[in-house]
Structure 1
Amino acid sequence: MILTVTLNPALDLTYAVPALVPGATHRVDGVASRPGGKGVNVARVLHALGEPVVAAGLAGGGTGARLRAELAAAGIEEAFTPIAGETRRTVVVAAPTGATGFWEPGPEVTAGEWAAFLAGYPALVRRAALVVLAGSLPRGVPADAYARLVEVARAAGAATILDADGPALRHGLAAGPDLVKPNADELAGLGAPPQRLGARDVVSSHGEAGLVASTSAGSWTAALARPLPGNATGAGDACVAALARAWCGRSRGRSASSTRWRCPRPR
């Protein structure tokens, strides 16, 4: 099983409009909603690919209840720790000329709520071969949260993939995750190669230029011959899901031709 952890999930809302005019009232042609946040997106892709997955994290309020209900309705096992604060929403207004996004800041997590998540986390990890830690940290969760979660996973014998940014990424690297998946901006912001900061292996994404993998077994690049058109939102999360699936495929003896991905060996 693959466990995904999303500490700051969101309910993603998309409003379709014929045109977006600042200062005007708009009639919405259509509304779409789906559970979101980086780890949740990874879980959704893995579930669509038929991989056993559990989505965990922190969720609260009516929005959090809706997010959990929509995951359950989609057949995705969820193990979110309830909190009092309201789970955030992301709102995208999509017009023919482009999309405009609005990201809510997310809830404040109390020390007791964070302790409750930590208390339940080891039992989830013991069921998992791999843990994906992804996304931003909500207010109240310590900056070294991912470092602690990596250490608990390692103690339980589970591998870890980390996809984060800023202080959360830097602290997480110090704990030695098996794989990190930064984008070009996140990579540049570190100021040093991730391996020097503690990561074992790195797959970085560079937009249309593709992916660069730097592992203990060697380095590779991969890119599409022709970039795909459309909105690239979520492409990084799909990449993380592919990496997670490949790792688990390797651990189950799946052939390289079926995974089509070189994946780091577990520790």
Structure 2
Amino acid sequence: MKSIATLTMNPTIDVSYDVPRVQHTHKMRTDNEWYAPGGGGINVARVFVRLGGNARCYYLSGGATGPALDGLIDRHQLVRTRIPIAGPTRVASAVLERETGKEFRFTPRGPTISESEWRECLEQLAQADCGIMVMSGSLSPGVPEDFYARVTELLRPRGIQLVLDSSGAALAHGIDAGSLMLVKPSQGELQHYVGRTLDTPGEIGREAMRIVEAGKARLVAVTMGHEGAVLAREAGPVFLPALKIEAASAVGAGDSFVAGMVFALHMGKDELEAFRHGIAAGSAAVLRAGTGLAHPADIDRLLERVEPL
């Protein structure tokens, strides 16, 4: 069984820490400081490997902060293919205010990527040896909006199955390229794609089914935050409510969902069981504040609470 690979075009060094209370002007002393490699595909790989799989990370890294990201990826024992860039890798922050339990997140846009840099990325991807490629996260400035579509057209003839989790134009071009194994938009991202508000699981299911019926994706999993998620597939849409848990963070919930679902599919689980694993993994990611993502023990425990399908 071939391993998976993930693609992160706009990775981050994720920093999280706690403060007693957020105040303007005043210097706020922090504690519980934590650094982790982040960005969609890297997050997916972190959870996938924790679950027992093997994953190679393709990602862009550069500037003074690039070596720090590389070191963090090595620390998490992830296999990596780094595409060097001139611009600095971005640093994102998540700050937990203990007084209120609220989390504040600060995420830069990321470095501007030159044409030679994103073309080098395509050349590296052309050599990928994997069964599944997960394309996840935003595109840095300078990267063409149809980049994920280009990756799809590059890898599809080689029989590599493709998973897409992005937003805006990058998501739209990626879906329209077609033949995806799985696409995972949020409710808001799907609304942006179809150009109208979708208020109920039924409406979401119908629009997601249009993507399936057009042959653009075999599976469409639409996450709805605390409301749950909808899965569209050839046999029709299904809805699962969210688990009732107290969320401490929103960092990496969608990435953990993708990792849980892809891992289950990779291990031969059927579509509905994989969907349940996605729900459990996404829920596990929000149990703790910071950038820890989902852990297997939490996923297993929560999976027992996900409704059977």
State TM-score, norm by structure 1: 0.90
Q: 2:131 aligns with which of 129, 132, 143?
A: 129
Correspondence 1:249 to 2:267: yes
Q: CA deviation at 1:116?
A: 1.1
- C-alpha distance in structure 2 between counterparts of 1:89 and 1:18, whole Å: 22
In the TM superposition, what whole-angstrom CA distance separates every residue of 1:101-156 from its partner, at most 9, and x where no partner exists? Answer: 211121111111111111111111xx111010011100111000000111122111
Q: 1:65 aligns with which of 64, 67, 79?
A: 67
Q: 2:274 aligns with which of 237, 251, 261?
A: 261
Q: 1:153 aligns with which of 138, 152, 155?
A: 155
- C-alpha distance in structure 2 between counterparts of 1:43 and 1:262, whole Å: 18
In the TM superposition, what whole-angstrom CA distance separates every residue of 1:200-255 from its partner, at most 9, and x where no partner exists? Answer: 320100112211100113322223452343223211111100121122112xxxx5
Aligned residues with identical type, % of pairs = 34
Structure 1, unmatched stretches of 5+, are none
Q: 1:48 aligns with which of 41, 47, 50?
A: 50
In the TM superposition, what whole-angstrom CA distance separates every residue of 1:158-189 from its partner, at most 9, and x where no partner exists? Answer: 11110010000011111112211000100111
Q: Alignment length, in residue pairs? A: 256
* Distance verdict in 2 for CA 1:191–1:260, change over 3 Å: closer
Aligned 8 A contact 1:40 1:55 in 2: yes
- C-alpha distance in structure 1 between counterparts of 2:16 and 2:275, whole Å: 35
- C-alpha distance in structure 2 between counterparts of 1:224 and 1:15, whole Å: 27
Q: CA deviation at 1:37?
A: 0.6
- C-alpha distance in structure 1 between counterparts of 2:215 and 2:231, whole Å: 16
Structure 2, unmatched stretches of 5+, are 196-206, 277-309
SS in 2 for 1:218: coil
* Distance verdict in 2 for CA 1:84–1:260, change over 3 Å: same
Structure 1 vs Structure 2 CA RMSD: 2.0
| Residue in structure 2 matched with residue 188 of structure 1 by the alignment | 191
SS in 2 for 1:261: helix
Q: For 2:273, give the aligned amino acid.
A: R
- C-alpha distance in structure 1 between counterparts of 2:143 and 2:68, whole Å: 22
223-232 or 97-106, larger mean C-alpha shift = 223-232
- C-alpha distance in structure 1 between counterparts of 2:130 and 2:241, whole Å: 31
State TM-score, norm by structure 2: 0.78
Q: 1:208 aligns with which of 223, 226, 251?
A: 226
Q: CA deviation at 1:256?
A: 5.3
201-210 or 224-233, larger mean C-alpha shift = 224-233
In the TM superposition, what whole-angstrom CA distance separates every residue of 1:35-64 from its partner, at most 9, and x where no partner exists? Answer: 011111101000111111011121112322
| Residue in structure 1 matched with residue 235 of structure 2 by the alignment | 217
Q: For 1:183, give the aligned amino acid.
A: S
Q: For 2:81, give the aligned amino acid.
A: A
Q: 2:258 aligns with which of 232, 240, 248?
A: 240
- C-alpha distance in structure 2 between counterparts of 1:191 and 1:24, whole Å: 44
- C-alpha distance in structure 2 between counterparts of 1:91 and 1:262, whole Å: 30
| Residue in structure 2 matched with residue 114 of structure 1 by the alignment | 118
